[in-house]
Amino acid sequence: MSALTTEKPRAVAEAVSVEEIRSPISPVSRKLRQEPHVVEVNPRLEAAEILDRAAHATMARYTGGLSPAALAMAQFDWAMHLASSPGKLGALVDSAMHKWMEFGKIATDAFVDGSDAVHSASKDPRFKGEAWNQLPFRLMADGFQLTEAWWKEATTGVRGASPHHLRLVEFMARQALDVFSPSNWPATNPDVIQATRDEGAANLVRGFANAMDDAERNFAELPPEGMDKFRPGETVAVTPGKVVLRNQLMELIQYGPTTNTVHPEPVLIVPAWIMKYYILDLSPQNSMIRHLVAAGFTVFCISWKNPGSEDRDCGLEAYREMGPVAALEAIEAICGSAQVHGVGYCLGGTLLSIEAARQARDGDARFGSLTLLAAQTDFTQAGELMLFIDESQLTLLEDMMWERGYLDTKQMAGAFQMLRSRDLVWSRMVHDYLLGKRVAMNDLMAWNADATRMPFRMHAEYLQHLFLDNDLAEGRHHIGDASIAIEDIHAPIFAVGTETDHVAPWKSVHKITLLSDSEVTFVLTTGGHNAGIVSEPGHKRRSYRIATKGPDAPYVDPEHWGATATKHEGSWWLAWFDWLAKHSGEKVAPPPMGAPKKGYAPVCAAPGTYVLMP
């Protein structure tokens, strides 16, 4: 760790390199960026920092990347403020008594009249079904629900405690209670009991075999069963195209036209580097890219490399320059000077917004429109992911990544599973292990299991500057020597949020209508972060709401936005295609595949090589 002193100021280049100063290594290094002229390096303290990092990385292996200090501080903050709040304690005692009385009344009514009336427990998807309305299972479900409600009261509304700490404690209490849900245990789940009776316990035998198979695959780091049926280039990611650019971080795929004429404005898709791009090019029937090409657009898509330790020093700026900036240069060489429709998904949308704001600042208007798919530009309401974003958590996460040079796929998958443990852990355990059933692998499930890593520097910068500090939304994010601002973007924007998104909550995505001064068409669609975006025409039970805010129109908050939006049944893709066509010119002949004379000769056929990297 570096020592700060004002006794012998000297140029920072003499003390540490520019790359070290910019590298997100510690709170001290952040201080160095702010006061570079008062830096003097103490080698002994630098060695001490390396030792601390190694210790933190070792700790992170046993805690799943969670900071024990952060969890302890949250619990202490909650417990101390609760202990010093006699009114809150009295209210909790009163609530507990009333809930016991309510449970007693439910039990008495059930035993007296034998009623099978559906109680509040049936609102929970874990307790749906006729069997849960029978005794004694109905009482188990009701009792569990009342316990959950009391703990929610106990971990919220504690005056004086940090809101962040309260949310973390409430989340931890919910995770702990979920373990004891009667739906998770064979002796208290009526569906499991009935299946065991009907099948002579064959379901448990199958479930045990499923559990052993999963454990073996997890230990050997093998993919889930059935994933081999969905190989990129064979059954998924089969839209014809060519890789026309390859650099250290990405391959740029140009897709071949399927129509005689195309709109002159090409489409550039920037997916998130946290995922493999073929979420947007799954099977032919639900491939967004294939549908875009069929609608008469020239489509380019970035396929990010799955980084390794050699890419540890690639930061946000490297991803911007070797991603959308390099792609735009290639597209201009191939298609000419026509404006580009930029499309960004998740973190790719954030990166696209950064480049669009940079262009707006510098008078470089290469984007004719922007489409942001479940992408955030303001992170103050970024959902439960924010529970794991504070200085303590980031320090442990940085040190864990520092050791390897990247964030491992298992650590990322574990974080998302924790956020949706009821759906991704407990319900799967019941279905696969207690009922002995397997859900057949589909293309979306296979893609979800095809995880990626993230470089140390990029992920640390992203979490620190965008998530924790919210620099982009608040005008502090710098490219070069000057900051950029979302409000400088004047290209029309089409933004999509999904109703049940746990990664980018739709109210957070909706903030683009507040930050941007351009025309914004906002769509709220059914589904989650992935299934809501992969919403092809003909998909059952899909609907969306849509409304456009003009450049000078007043802001409408998310709570009242629904009153101004028009609801439609079906896929939002068709509305988006119409919107893109409205902001495009008259169709022309398709451009050539690549531009060999300008240095963009096709390298190989789609889906390229980076998407196949393990």
Please give, one letter per residue, the 3-state secondary structure of 48-112. HHHHHHHHHHHHHHHHCCCCHHHHHHHHHHHHHHHHCCHHHHHHHHHHHHHHHHHHHHHHHHHHH
- Work out whether the CA dihedral 52, 58, 59, 64 comes out positive or negative: positive
Residue of 301, 314, 335, 346 marked catalytic: 346
Contact 379, 508 (CB under 8 A): yes
Please give, one letter per residue, the 3-state secondary structure of 116-134. CCCCHHHHCHHHCCHHHHC
Q: Which residues pair with 4 in a beta bridge?
A: 39
Q: Are strands 493-498 and 367-373 parallel, antiparallel or unpaired?
A: parallel
Name the percent of the chain in helix, strand, coil, to the closest 5. 50, 15, 35
Residues whose CB falls within 8 Å of the CB of residue 509, separated by 6 or more in sequence, listed in order: 372, 374, 375, 376, 495, 496, 497, 501
Neighbour-count burial of 480, counting CB atoms closer than 10 A to its CB (0-12 exposed, 13-18 middle, 19+ buried): exposed
Structure tokens at 77: 């903050």
d(CA 17, CA 38): 14
Please give, one letter per residue, the 3-state secondary structure of 367-404. EEEEEEECCCCCCCCCHHHHHHCCHHHHHHHHHHHHHH
- Position 370: which residue type? L
Omega before residue 186 within 30° of 0, cis: no
Q: Which residue has the tokens 């919220």?
A: 156
Q: How far is CA 34 from the centre of its chain?
A: 30
Q: Is 346 a catalytic residue?
A: yes
Between helix 86-113 and helix 137-154 the angle, nearest 10°, is: 170
Going from the C-alpha of 483 to that of each of 343, 518, 572, the distances in angstroms are 23, 19, 34
Closest CA to 372 of 408, 396, 346, 340: 346
Contact 477, 465 (CB under 8 A): yes
Contact 496, 462 (CB under 8 A): no
The torsion angle over the Cα atoms of residues 439, 445, 449 and 455, rounded to 10 degrees, is -150
Q: Which residue has the tokens 């030792």?
A: 51
d(CA 442, CA 225): 11
Residues whose CB falls within 8 Å of the CB of residue 482, separated by 6 or more in sequence, listed in order: 361
The torsion angle over the Cα atoms of residues 493, 496, 502 and 503, rounded to 10 degrees, is -40
> Known catalytic residues?
346
